[in-house]
Structure 1
Amino acid sequence: MKPFAFERARNVDHALSLAAAAPGARFLAGGTNLLDLMKLEIEQPETLIDVGRLPLADISETSGGGLRIGALATNTFVASDPRVRSRYPVLARAILSGASAQLRNKASMGGNLMQRTRCAYFMDPAKPCNKRLPGSGCSAMGGLSQATALFGASEFCAAVSASDMSVALAVLDAEVETVRADGSVRRRPVETLHRLPGDAPQVDTDLAPDELILAVELPPPPSGGQVWRKVRARASYIGALASVAVAGDRVALGAVAARPWRARATEAALAGGAAPSEAAEAELASASGEVGRKSLVRRLATDAIQESRKGGRS
């Protein structure tokens, strides 16, 4: 691990001023992803700013009937909250399907959103990777990876997002609230927080270097069933080969793009009266990649939509 400076933020303003004064600094919350990447020398920040003690861990009701979840609320805390379990079961299920209990006890809401891809080539410093070292090439193109992007990939990168939680948040129309050192506050949908790779795959999100996630806000839950489905290579905390979140008439796919993928073509087909299998196929008509992965997503989405139409909450 490379030497680095360590600063502990006293409050939000202090954290932002530290970030503004140290270009390339990284915020540290639970550290379940960032510290691993530093040990592998994939991430080499010159400064870490510990925000883990800031008062951003509460879950509160909003005036509109939704929930506001602080960025430092742990994954375990969120998934076990009675309001989340009863009103947003797809979110609770998605969180519980990711990582191990030990990691969920430490990982934060904001940190989960900011985690980087688990692409095998990104995680191996001996292999070329444009996301890790721009201009070096993409080993996943024609490689052995089972989980390359079906949507939104470019000639420079085919990595996928590792966050299960973000898929559920996207299907629930959740928004992320952030603040910068100049005091400006922004809100944007979770589904657009992450960038598609384009010609700059090393840039994961649209956040500025001095921008800190404060909270995630959930609108009132949609009517209809909520269902989460995930397939992975084995029953451990390995990443998904594919996942699907359904909430009412909304559908989102996971492990198929560099961000959670709202299946708009599927939603439009369902609104037009298409059968679940036909609606799933409508989204996959524009997908690239392996036939087997596309078949897996099709079957997974069809099953989840059918279950949600029965009022399922699983």
Structure 2
Amino acid sequence: MTAPTLYLIAALLGLLASWYLLPLRWAALLSSLARRMAGLKSKQCQVGEVHWQYLEGGRGPTLVLLHGMAAEADHWLAIAARLRSDYRLLIPDLPGFGGSTPPQELDFRIQAQSQRLEAWLDQLGVHACLLAGNSMGAWIAADFSARHPDRVRALWLQDAFGLHSARQSAIMRDFVAGQDNPFLIRNMTDYRRLVKQMFHRAPPLPYPLQRAGFVNAARLAPELERMQAELLEQSTPVETLLSGLQLPTLIEWGEEDRATDPDGVRVLSELLPNCQCVTHARVGHLPMLEAPGPCLRAWQSFATEHKLMADVTASHDSAT
């Protein structure tokens, strides 16, 4: 075997080893590549004492996408890549998560998170938008819309968290009974179990991204009990926030959601006079990750029916 061949083999073995020995560096590289392929740029800004990291890209009406608990902006990438041609997308790491201000410094009541969202949109000069959220992000979107219906043209809620009158999911029943807290992540086994619970069939995820997801979730552990208490015990229920709201609203739910029971569709449809409901078979708590194609088609149909492009193009700033 020649020396160049040996060098090549050694280099390949070193690269393979780094995949497992330096997973966070690989995760940063893979995430950067995925954002680039989606046509999004990673940006940062300071709003008072809160640091925001967010993704931006596309041209057209402004569509803001909010993630849920222990998640991050990148969870929207699969669908964002397909939305970018029609919308200016703003996708934050909500403060407390991802690359934004760490959780130790923050109030996690929904009203506080909604106020931070307002300040961030003000900073970016966004006076009105289309607003979407998954899970906790849907709860924040509901609060913001209730407080500022003049600033929201339409709502897009996926598997909303914070409904008190909907049937409790199995995960929530165990949590309320003090038997289990799936968001308390202490090791990779805990993290993989959480991922399994969030999906009907989890998409394949490279090891470096699994490791990065674990690190991001595990850093919440010291603050988790406080965060969840503020979120669950001191926040206004979604029913109160949205009751009678006239905004056009698309409600999506995974039929196999084990975190927020699909009974939420019934509750929201009875509250909102101008809503459209779509459920996805064989999909769990994160439809934008597990079924981006069906989610996109549901949104496009909804946006066309409500003429959202025509309604908001004139009043929204496009990305420069």
TM-score, L = length of structure 2: 0.29
Return the structure number with greater relative CO, CA threshold 8 A, min gap 6.
2
Which has the greater radius of gyration?
2
Between structures 1 and 2, the one with greater helix share: 2
